[in-house]
Amino acid sequence: MENNNRRDFLKKGALFGTTLWASSALGVVGCSSAADKEQNNSENNKAVLKSKIRTLGAGEHRIEVSAMGLGCMGMSYHRSFVPDRKLMIDLLRRSPELGLNFYDTAEAYGPFFNEELVGEAVAPFRKEIIIATKFGFKNGKPADGLDSHPDRIRAVVEHSLKSLRTDYIDLLYQHRVDPNIPIEDVAGTVKDLIAEGKVKHFGMSEASVEVIRKAHVVQPLTALQSEYSLFTRQPEKDVIPLCEELGIGFVPYSPLSRGMITGYLNERSKYDARNDNRPSLPRYQPENVIANWKLIDTLKEFGDYRGLTVAQVALALLLAQKPFIVPIPGTTKLAHLQENLWAADFEFSTEELQGLTSKLNQITIVGDRLTGISAEQVRK
């Protein structure tokens, strides 16, 4: 299976040279003809149709997305270095050819810069993909506090539409629950925006079971986004069972624990605290990295015998939990994007899944996932 995927990827590489390179240049050196754009969109559609598709939500609130999405935050925010903008636009424009159609951004990523980047990159094939973005912070800045007042939600949506160069948002999340605004008012505002055609679907992030139930009565949720990885398994105990009960999709952010569950980071890794939250997070302190390394070793041992990387095993495990789970790992590298997407091709046997899960259950993870104001904003 892996060899076939590699051959398919090489074939697609030839296509990059004739069509997608032209598309990639749209926002840099000029415009292609309408015929070229139509051809590129057609090829993108074919790639996504061939990929593994998953469903978020139920009934009229359902959307079909690729089995893996792309978290775009790190392309401009919170991951130490800021990559070259043209390279990120190229990566975003190549991603549909690899079978991806689900992009995640937010006004808070920058703020605003990330939405603008995504909007410029996906403009040539906007109608063929799913864009998720978020509201919920004062001035778009988490450090300034929470704000989900209905007027603020509407203002954020108008700005996001402009930044994303679109007239509708496929999936609009409340980024963090605002305890000062009744969730019924939040859901009601999004319901009105859906009726107006500015938003297609409603989602929440880091919400509790109780809050999700209340919101779902007013406006059914399509997806819940929360941190979920092999370092952060709490959602398995509460919100994932609720999502299954209510027919809500589950979208894990940081499914590789901000890069730690890859084997590329270690206790000596350096971060720029001016544009990275990891230096302040307990799990990234050297002593905790060392204490938690047993999990990396366990995944590596499993992957080595099956031609998989540590990251691929971790992502495949999340996908294996429920058919409505769609992880959104972030990356700034095309090679890592392909690596992540290939994880969806691996299928565990019953014995493999039980054996690996049993080993992981015996590992105690050391260090809290968040601290300070970030921890306060996710308290259920």
pLDDT in tens, 98-152: 999 999 999 999 899 999 999 999 999 999 999 999 999 999 999 999 999 999 9
Q: What pLDDT, on a 0 to 100 scale, did the predictor assign at position 288? A: 95
Tell me which of 77, 103, 109, 168 is the catalytic residue.
109
Cα dihedral 76→151→132→41 (10° resolution): -100
Q: What pLDDT, on a 0 to 100 scale, did the predictor assign at position 371? A: 74
Q: What pLDDT, on a 0 to 100 scale, did the predictor assign at position 39? A: 57
Q: What pLDDT, on a 0 to 100 scale, did the predictor assign at position 78? A: 65
168 is catalytic: no
Decide: residue 8, CB within 10 A, 0-12 exposed, 13-18 middle, 19+ buried: middle
The b-or-e profile of 315-352 (16+ CB within 10 A means b, else e) is bbbbbbbbebbbbbbbbbeeebbbbbbbbbbbebeeee
In this prediction the pTM is: 0.85
Q: What pLDDT, on a 0 to 100 scale, did the predictor assign at position 16? A: 36
The residue ranges of the chain whose pLDDT is under 70 are: 1-51, 78, 80, 370, 373, 375, 379-380
Distance CA 44, CA 46 (A): 5
Q: What pLDDT, on a 0 to 100 scale, did the predictor assign at position 28? A: 32
Q: What pLDDT, on a 0 to 100 scale, did the predictor assign at position 2? A: 40
Q: What pLDDT, on a 0 to 100 scale, did the predictor assign at position 276? A: 81
